[in-house]
């Protein structure tokens, strides 16, 4: 089968662009509650625990349904998952603005997690389907980088500016729902299924059980490794604001400037790390990114004091942490299995990371911070990131260029041995 990216070069660009915009809207809708939380808390009479629960319920449902729906997209096709998912999470984001109490808001966010969890692995697999092997890592990085750009970097700016222009935070949710419906319509006309789906060539696909996904070496390594990486991201994202104000003593304005490093670093890291892995190899890049993320976090915790230095080290922590998440969730998981079951493998990896790294880790880190201090919590997460680097040593290389180099180097040795 001719590679999609080589058969029609224009399709690769259009598909990746639409998938990236869609995943950017996933990030925007997911994080929109946080910058709007002061107004939401006031109008709905919520407390800090309620806001935390809103984030947790979305993350947990995302994790579960990334696992379930990723596998389903391998059976029914990418389009049948992606297009309904983006319509659903856009409408549910708009419905969040109609909530009259905590219960309705929790239900809306839970269902959003279902739709966004479905979109995530299917979009990764669609990117692999559309990309030639030499650009798989870069394209997956672009798609995942859009999540950090829209959700963590631009999201707070968009939300806080819109809420100043419209009468209520409720209207903001309605406004941000509109682009998703437009992207869904464009996907309907642009995205196509790869040739291994029966709808294209009427050939039955091999049925692969859930258990068989654990038979792939890199999938088994990727699940605990992405837990380490996501623990870093979600703990940094949740505890850094109070670390900057309560421990370092920054003002609210200074804290906002420093926190923007999380989004911009994550955006650039997800693109750069995946792109670098196309050249240097997945395994080497993952090991280096984990350890550099840990070093950056340690320096952030014990060394930095000025806003500029804090920004730079938070940028660096997010760059390597988000980059290795994108690398594990995308190329390492997707290339570990046949293309026809890539979505299931990536969904299993992403879902595991979301449930434990996004759900359990922040709670454990909060307990450590409460009893031993915020610096101790950050240093603990740095140790977790270092452990992820050790785990990454056990990955088997899958980057086409790196594999080709290894094969080219081993051929003369084999010929010499034969002589």
Domains contained in the chain, number: 2
Helix axes 217-242, 282-302, angle to 10 degrees: 20
Of 192, 224, 250, the one marking the end of a domain is 192
Is the pLDDT reported for residue 338 higher than 50?
A: yes
- Which of 328 and 6 is assigned the larger pLDDT? 328
Residue 160's pLDDT is what? 76
pTM of the entire predicted model: 0.77
185 and 234 assigned to the same domain: no
- Whether the CB-CB separation of 255 and 245 falls below 8 Å is answered with yes
In a domain? residue 1 = no
Is the pLDDT reported for residue 178 higher than 70?
A: yes
Average model confidence (pLDDT) across the chain: 84
135 and 258 assigned to the same domain: no
- Whether the CB-CB separation of 312 and 268 falls below 8 Å is answered with no
Residue 131's pLDDT is what? 86
144 and 81 assigned to the same domain: yes
Of 159, 192, 225, the one marking the end of a domain is 192
CATH code where residue 387 lies: 1.20.1250.20
List pLDDT tens digits, range 369-378: 888 888 998 9
333 and 301 assigned to the same domain: yes
In a domain? residue 364 = yes
Is the pLDDT reported for residue 305 higher than 80?
A: yes
In a domain? residue 353 = yes
**CA separation (Å) from 328 to 19, 80, 113?**
18, 25, 21
């Amino acid at each position: 089968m001719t590679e999609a990216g080589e058969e029609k070069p224009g399709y690769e660009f259009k598909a990746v662009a639409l998938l990236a915009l869609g995943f950017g809207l996933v990030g925007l809708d997911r994080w929109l509650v946080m910058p709007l939380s002061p107004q939401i808390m006031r109008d709905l009479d919520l407390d800090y625990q309620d806001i935390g629960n809103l984030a947790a319920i979305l993350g947990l449902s995302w994790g579960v349904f990334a696992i379930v729906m990723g596998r389903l997209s391998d059976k029914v096709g990418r389009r049948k998952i992606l297009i309904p998912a983006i319509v659903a999470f856009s409408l549910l984001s708009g419905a969040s603005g109609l909530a009259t109490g905590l219960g309705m808001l929790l239900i809306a966010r839970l269902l959003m997690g279902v739709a966004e969890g479905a979109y995530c692995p299917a979009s990764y697999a669609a990117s692999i389907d559309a990309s030639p092997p030499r650009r798989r890592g870069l394209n997956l990085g672009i798609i995942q980088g859009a999540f950090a750009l829209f959700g963590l970097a631009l999201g707070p700016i968009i939300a806080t500016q819109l809420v100043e222009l419209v009468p209520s935070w409720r209207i903001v949710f309605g406004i941000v729902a509109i682009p998703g419906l437009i992207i869904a319509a464009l996907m309907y006309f642009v995205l196509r299924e790869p040739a291994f789906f029966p709808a294209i060539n009427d050939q039955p696909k091999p049925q692969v059980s859930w258990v068989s996904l654990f038979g792939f070496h890199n999938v088994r390594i990727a699940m605990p490794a992405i837990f380490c990486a996501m623990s870093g991201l979600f703990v940094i994202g949740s505890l850094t604001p109070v670390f900057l104000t309560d421990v370092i003593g920054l003002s609210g304005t200074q804290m906002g400037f420093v926190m923007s490093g999380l989004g911009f670093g994550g955006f650039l890291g997800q693109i750069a790390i995946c792109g670098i892995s196309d050249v240097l190899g997945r395994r080497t890049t993952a090991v280096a990114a984990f350890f550099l993320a840990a070093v950056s976090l340690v320096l952030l915790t014990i060394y930095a004091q000025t806003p500029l230095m804090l920004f730079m080290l938070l940028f660096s922590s997010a760059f390597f942490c988000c980059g290795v998440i994108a690398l594990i969730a995308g190329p390492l998981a997707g290339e570990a299995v046949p293309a026809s079951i890539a979505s299931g493998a990536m969904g299993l990896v992403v879902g595991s990371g979301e449930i434990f790294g996004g759900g359990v880790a922040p709670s454990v880190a909060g307990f450590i911070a409460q009893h031993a201090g915020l610096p101790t919590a950050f240093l603990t997460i740095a140790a977790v990131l270092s452990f992820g680097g050790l785990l990454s040593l056990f990955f088997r290389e899958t980057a086409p260029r790196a594999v080709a180099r290894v094969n080219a180097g081993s051929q003369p040795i084999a010929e010499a041995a034969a002589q």
